[in-house]
Chains A and B, each alone.
Chain A
Amino acid sequence: MDRHALHQPSSSSSSIPATANTVWTDASPLLEVACKDLRDGELIHVDNFNLYAAMSALEIMDPKMDSGIVNRYCSVDEAIEDGVAPVPISTDKTTDVQCMIDIMDHLLTCEATWHKGHSLAQTVFSCAYLLRPERTSSHALLHSYCKVIRATCKAVITVVSDARTHEEEDLFTMAYGLPLSGDGDEKCLSLLNAVEENISRQLRACKAPSSKRKPLEDIEPLQTNFDLEEGYCKALLCRLRFRKHFFHVLTCMRRPQGRGLELARKHIASCISELGVILKSAEFLMSNAHGTCEDATEDRTTASGHQAIGFDASLNSRISAPTPPRSIKILSWKKAIEYFEKLLHDLDIICSYPLDPSLEVLLRFVAQFQKAQPDLVARAHLQLLLVQDGKLYGKCPMFSLIIRAARLPEVFLHHDIQKNEYVVQLGQLVINMLKILCTNAAWQRRKLGKILQDWRVIYVQIELAFRKDFGEGSSISNGDNASARILKHILIWVDEQTYWISHRFLILGFELELYSPSEYCMVYWYLYVVLIRLAEKTHLKMTVSDGSAKQKGKKRKDSPKELARDAKIPPAISFLQCQICLAEGLTVLLAALRNELMVLQSPSPFNSEHEVKYVLMYMVVNIIIHLNNKEMFQNIIEFQMIKRGNNGYSLHK
């Protein structure tokens, strides 16, 4: 091989200037020689050239893969030198203001696109103004706005990064090489306030009646066209105020132990109100857009329809992800506003949660919250509210949560058994479960299926410890032995919680559209079994705690009222019974359709129902099969017979 060829820079193609660490040279001759040497179908590769490597490989100069081919600029500085991001944006003040508003709008759409799952580098930081913070210092409005954008992005990244549970957050938080912490960005709000104050004065000045139009203060107007002054002042003010309030929402929600939630709600309300004003400003902005309106369609990324100045998604391609950055579609302006409206609504729900110390109430809240399909930013905030410093809401230790959930009296809150290794582990499982419940439904379901095993294991461990310390067949009324009582209650609760997780696992399958109609019968069957066990355990937990409470009470004859009260079924049980009936009904209906009408069956050339069941259900069957076959079967049939025997429904014992 001709080594000499390597060191001869071809004068026509070394257009890339050498830097301190790199000297470019033309490798084409070398490649040509190598190509002639290889035969068709031959490949030179290292041993670990696997599928991942193959898929990440680039064909150089293929525009679909090699983003450098389509780049106009090699660097941000080159783009700036070429006039991509002028400061001031225009020498004409009116145009400058119009362009400024376009930039603000486009940044909003970039931000929403980022939140929705694209990289920060290709969205928000496709703005050249953001990439060189020092350049904008002469333009107060642009400078303060850029600062608050950077500070906001940083705050959101911190939240998502702190709440990290799995890969979903990784692309979101990737900010390598981006100037997220500009100098003095923490003071962004005071700068923004100053600018806002100025524009408010300009607005007041232009609205003053003409007779009184003696300049009270020597105010220079915002821009040169007097008729448009009010419109542009208002358009700017609502955008600035939105950013201010949004930043406040983020800082308030991060205050420990949920102390800032009430104040956050006020800022959320302000944000939503300003978003309304922003939307309304579109009419004014579109009709007064400089030059012809380029894009009046729903796809436009600015209110005015004009393309914003200073943006180029390829500017960061060199510091972006290692895989070739594909071109992404930025959300439309309307969709971006809708996104923020939803985000604010979801954050408001979180802020209005009364931080109930009951796990039951919390689980119901989280399950309900997830139904609205909240996005990553909202879910991250929820998780950080729920789990801080290993405690619920940063205040309730896991042990106290468990004691309450197991319906043990508060006197046990400081019992030594909290130091027991299994009890500590159980606390960790609860924390882990809470974090999982705040993730996206798809990942959540898989993870819930996996932790079922952990919950089973801890049950077995605690049960073994209980038997070891207190022997077989201890009844709960082992009065004085507090540890025994605590463990017994906890065991019942762990069982109940395991069935709750199983239930959620099954139900999420519907939300995620995992089940096809031929599988419904089996799903409802398993739901039926799980619900029966859940109701049983819930009932047992309540009976056991009432029973122990009763023992401590005075010995007196039970009044008829008390008996009647005891016979009433608690609402939680009633609710479960309703669900049991629904599940049973659906199972029977679908079974009848299959057996009698031969519909909803899935004949497969390759396997049978057994395999379908195995794949779909093994996690849940795992839980259910710790029962004896006969026992489970008997339970269900007994349940059926009791239902038919009584007028009201009651659980068998």
Chain B
Amino acid sequence: MEQVQEKQRTEEFDASEIEYVIYGGEHHLPLIMNLVDQELSEPYSIFTYRYFVYLWPQLSFMAFHKGKCVGTVVCKMGDHRDSKFRGYIAMLVVIKPYRGRGIATELVTRSIQVMMESGCEEVTLEAEVTNKGALALYGRLGFIRAKRLFRYYLNGVDAFRLKLLFPQPEELHPFLPMMADRDDTQNHDDHSPREEFLLKSILFSEVVCKFSSLV
């Protein structure tokens, strides 16, 4: 879905004047719809909005400045393929005069916080490859570009699937499917999958440090 982030003329305000509100009911829906309709070219039917805010009201937030709605984030979460419990950021909008001041970051952060607390293992979204603002915002939050989707948008532009993986406690981490098949072919120390992976990571840092000293 779409994300909008470009800097243009700004409105003067102090960050403390922005009030962040969780979705509270039908009275918030027209505010969200107007904001998104105004900023995005893709038309979303009212069913789309209702789908998100009715099923996951705890994941949608709005930013108000002096009673005016200036930004919103709309999300969902649920079981995905590979039985991963995954959060998804569907829409993110901040009106032009209020951009570049961290409002979008704050909205997204709040959503992600709720997702994490609800037990999500990861969060994903799509963003146009040309949307530098969104890519920078999510990059700062630790999202990486997991995939590139060819001509994802109707105008022919590619998209990145951005993904944020939460740290998992060792026992729960679903690991690489191949690990189970290896036992008969390898003769090595018997590490658990997670341990193996951690060893690899340590190896990486260790070798990297060794390399630095070899230079």
Contact = CB atoms under 8 A, between A and B. Distances in A.
A605 B141 contact: yes
A62 to B, nearest CB: 7
A440 B151 CA distance: 10
A463 B185 contact: yes
A516 B144 contact: yes
Contacts of B208: 521, 525, 587-588, 591, 595
A587 B212 CA distance: 9
A232 B116 CA distance: 69
A43 interface: yes
A161 to B, nearest CB: 18
A416 interface: no
Interface stretch (A280-288, A397-405, A623-631): A623-631
Contact of A453 (B151, B178, B196, B212): B178
A609 B46 CA distance: 40
A117 B151 contact: yes
B121 to A, nearest CB: 10
A602 B142 contact: yes
Interface in B195-215: 196-201, 203-204, 207-212, 214-215
Interface in A580-637: 584, 587-588, 591-592, 595-596, 602, 604-616, 618, 621-622, 624-626, 628-629, 632-633, 636-637
B167 A636 contact: no
Interface string B146-169: 111111001010101001111100
Interface string B33-49: 00000000001111110
B50 interface: yes
B200 A513 contact: no
Given A595-B209, A596-B212, A607 B164 contact: yes
Given A513-B145, A622-B178, A629-B203, A607 B160 contact: no
A512 interface: yes
A399 to B, nearest CB: 25
| Interface-centre pick from A51, A53, A605 (highest chain B CB count, 10 A) | A51
Contacts of A609: 201
Interface stretch (A102-110, A442-450, A568-576): A442-450
B85 to A, nearest CB: 15
B109 interface: yes
B15 interface: no
Contacts of B184: 460, 464
A628 B154 CA distance: 47
Contact of A588 (B150, B151, B158, B214): B214
Chain B: number of interface residues, binned into ranges: 35 or more
A636 B185 contact: no
A516 B139 contact: yes
Nearest to B88: A51
B181 interface: yes
Given A43-B47, A604-B142, A605-B141, A625 B196 contact: yes
Interface string A486-521: 000000000000000000000000001111100101
Given A522-B204, A607-B164, A612-B144, A117 B46 contact: no
B167 A611 contact: yes
A57 interface: yes
B80 interface: no
* Shortest beta-carbon contacts, A-B, top 6: A604-B142, A64-B43, A611-B165, A442-B148, A591-B208, A54-B47
Interface of B: 26, 29, 43-48, 50-51, 54, 76, 109, 112, 116, 129, 139-142, 144-151, 154, 156, 158, 160, 163-167, 176-179, 181-182, 184-189, 196-201, 203-204, 207-212, 214-215
23 contacts: A41-B29, A43-B47, A49-B51, A54-B50, A55-B45, A116-B156, A328-B154, A442-B147, A445-B147, A515-B145, A516-B145, A588-B211, A591-B211, A604-B141, A606-B116, A610-B197, A621-B176, A624-B200, A625-B179, A625-B197, A626-B185, A629-B196, A637-B210
Interface of A: 40-41, 43, 49-51, 53-55, 57-59, 62, 64-65, 116-117, 168, 326, 328, 440-443, 445-446, 453, 456-457, 460, 463-464, 512-516, 519, 521-522, 525, 584, 587-588, 591-592, 595-596, 602, 604-616, 618, 621-622, 624-626, 628-629, 632-633, 636-637, 640
Given A464-B184, A615-B146, A618-B176, 12 more contacts: A116-B156, A456-B178, A513-B145, A592-B212, A595-B208, A611-B164, A621-B197, A624-B200, A625-B179, A625-B196, A626-B182, A628-B186
